[in-house]
């Protein structure tokens, strides 16, 4: 840093110090009525030493999710709100078109009683239900893990298999393709039927479409979000494409439909040009 750079840095430093001092003074003057915003240290994607998460550009990671360390997320996959993928002592890989639904936890094993090194491997087009716990296990392509299920070290869920909601799958259990397992401890319940196989495919497709809508909403800058609030309040306009993803059907009177060019005055000006 040259002389000019040092001078600019020093000026910037004292400007910031002055601003912070004024903020502290104002807070003291406000007494018990002041509000102080606390800085959140949450980071959606975080390195752990030299281990860096790799997320495909077409994947969706919710703002409140946490990806740490050696985590890889494939194309078109979605990591939903509140999920934790902690690849600190081993790796986690999530394939393409897979959905890890809200509040699920994925963690890895550096070693265990059997002395095995166990990463987490999730295949393509897999649905992992809400609040599931996956530890050092493998879930192959087009499988389904139900809400609140727990998969322990060494578990393998083969392709097109299903773990029922709330199931506890013990260590080193292998769930064969085409079977449904459930209970605590999990055991074979029955064979999958054609309707359930179709549901697996529909589930991944529906969640992928919904994730696109959430990705668009989360990518909007603050000023655009506030502007849209004003427009919706004033003109009762709705974002039809987003609502359709949520399965909502809304009826809006023709008078309340916002012109594509924005405000009515702006539309009239555009027409006169």
How far apart, in whole angstroms, are the C-alpha atoms of residue 162 and residue 175? 8
**173: Cβ–Cβ under 8 A, 6 or more apart, which residues?**
154, 155, 156, 186
3-state helix, strand, coil in the chain (%, to 5): 35, 25, 45
pLDDT of 106 above 90? yes
pLDDT band at 209 (very low <50, low <70, confident <90, very high): confident
How far apart, in whole angstroms, are the C-alpha atoms of residue 156 and residue 175? 6
pLDDT band at 238 (very low <50, low <70, confident <90, very high): low
pLDDT band at 241 (very low <50, low <70, confident <90, very high): low
The whole-model pTM stands at: 0.69
pLDDT of 98 above 50? yes
pLDDT of 133 above 90? yes
Q: Which of 42-56, 151-165, 194-208 has the highest mean pLDDT?
A: 151-165
| Nearest partner of 258 among 273, 243, 236, 242, judged by Cα | 236
User: Is 125 in contact with 141 (CB distance < 8 Å)?
Assistant: yes
Convert the pLDDT of each residue in 25-43 to its tens digit: 888 888 877 776 666 678 8
Higher-pLDDT residue of 80 and 39 is 80
How far apart, in whole angstroms, are the C-alpha atoms of residue 100 and residue 55? 14
Considering the four listed CATH numbers 3.60.20.10, 2.40.30.10, 2.160.10.10, 3.30.450.90, the one that applies to the domain covering 45-193 is 2.160.10.10
């Amino acid at each position: 840093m040259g002389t000019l750079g040092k001078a600019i840095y020093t000026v910037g430093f004292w400007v910031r110090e002055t601003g912070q001092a004024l903020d502290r003074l104002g807070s003291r003057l406000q007494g018990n009525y002041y509000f102080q915003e606390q800085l959140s240290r949450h980071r959606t994607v975080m390195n752990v030493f030299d281990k860096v998460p790799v997320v495909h550009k077409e994947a969706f990671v919710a703002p409140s999710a946490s990806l740490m360390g050696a985590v890889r997320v494939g194309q078109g996959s979605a990591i939903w709100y509140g999920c934790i993928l902690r690849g600190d002592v081993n790796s986690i890989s999530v394939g393409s078109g897979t959905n890890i639904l809200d509040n699920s936890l994925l963690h890895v094993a550096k070693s265990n009683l059997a002395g095995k090194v166990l990463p987490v491997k999730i295949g393509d087009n897999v649905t992992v239900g809400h609040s599931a716990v996956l530890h050092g296990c493998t879930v192959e392509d087009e499988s389904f893990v139900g809400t609140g299920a727990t998969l322990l070290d060494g578990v393998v869920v083969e392709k097109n298999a299903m773990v029922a909601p709330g199931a506890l799958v013990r260590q080193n259990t292998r769930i064969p393709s085409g079977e449904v397992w459930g209970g605590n401890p999990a055991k074979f319940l029955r064979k999958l039927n054609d309707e359930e196989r179709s549901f697996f495919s529909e589930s991944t497709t529906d969640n992928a479409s919904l994730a696109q809508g959430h990705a668009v909403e989360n990518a909007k800058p603050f000023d655009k979000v506030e502007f849209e609030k004003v427009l919706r309040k004033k003109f009762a306009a709705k974002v039809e494409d987003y609502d359709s993803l949520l399965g909502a059907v809304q009826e809006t009177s023709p008078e309340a439909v916002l012109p594509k060019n924005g405000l009515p005055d702006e539309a009239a000006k555009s027409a006169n040009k």
